[in-house]
Amino acid sequence: MSYARTVHIMVFTAFTVAACSAGQAVPLITSPAPDMETIDEYFARCPTIQEVARVNADLKVSFEYDPADGNLVCDSPGLTALQKRAYQTIYLMRVLKFSQPLPWTDRQLYDWFVDAIDGLRFVNGGISRCCEPADIVVIAVTPDSPLLQADKPVTDSEGSGLMNVMLLYAHEARHNEGYQHTCTTRSGDDNTLDEMGAWSIQYYLALWVAEYADPGFMGSSKDGTDHYRRLMLEHSRITFLTRFCKEKYSGQADRSAPSAR
């Protein structure tokens, strides 16, 4: 089977592109790289040439489906809306810094991730999965995917928003390290948190974003600076309640800071 070639960096001089459906010109998003920015500002801007190049150097990223049909939202590098958000949600793992070590690795999040897999394929519909071919995570792009919606880090605790796409990447990468779902009574779930399977990584990463990520970066202009952190905390709680067959919920506090393993 042949796969779409990795998107390479393209520099365009035009500052507007034709909108696909309305036939109107839409402005391209600028690409500033401020020293200090919030997560809202990070997703509002375009990734820089250097950020895209770093991801392409570390991973094979291919887009086998893109509803934008070539219409760009970023000029330098030239990216569609899907490509913009895909690169941002990957590079976000490098941007995030935590005050406590991650529970499943002693490495930084991005370093762990690019070592766990070789790349990602963005495909039309279906379900996201690991891995086809070997070491390549498949990300299903559906009409309601956050990758095709607004540039919002988190919109609700149920799974919407670009932060949740990052959680999905980590979940599938854990599968590639040999951790399959273990629950025998519910398909696609795990037994316990201590197994450190894919759902454990998703639970802990959401919890670490909520409790140990840089509060300045995670600040939100909506509903106070803790808005996104509270939504991530709720996501971790819901994951714990619904994705482990043999766990008995006893609150977040006793699960907050286990030693790295």
Residue 259 pLDDT: 27
Tell me the per-residue pLDDT of 12-43, one tens digit each, with 9 for 90 and over.
Answer: 222 222 233 333 333 444 443 445 689 999 99
pLDDT band, very low/low/confident/very high, at 252 (cuts 50, 70, 90):
very low
Residue 260 pLDDT: 27
pLDDT at 224 exceeding the cut of 70: no
More confident residue, 201 or 226: 201
In a domain, 4, yes or no: no
Distances (CA, A) of 150 to 43, 47, 77, 84: 9, 16, 20, 12
In a domain, 261, yes or no: no
Residue 32 pLDDT: 39
In a domain, 115, yes or no: yes
In a domain, 218, yes or no: yes
Lowest mean pLDDT among 158-162, 172-176, 257-261: 257-261
In a domain, 20, yes or no: yes
Cα–Cα distance, 232 to 214 (Å, whole number): 14
In a domain, 9, yes or no: no
| Domain, as residue range, for 215 | 16-255
Tell me the per-residue pLDDT of 56-106, one tens digit each, with 9 for 90 and over.
Answer: 999 999 999 999 988 999 998 999 999 999 999 999 999 999 999 999 999
Tally of domains in the chain:
1
Which H/E stretch holds residue 63?
strand 60-63
Residue 159 pLDDT: 57
In contact, 117 and 57? CB cutoff 8 Å: no
| Omega prior to 131 cis, within 30 of 0 | yes
Helices and strands, counts by H and E, the chain: 7, 7
**What value does the mean pLDDT of the chain take?**
83
In a domain, 2, yes or no: no
Residue 117 pLDDT: 98
pLDDT band, very low/low/confident/very high, at 155 (cuts 50, 70, 90):
confident
In a domain, 3, yes or no: no
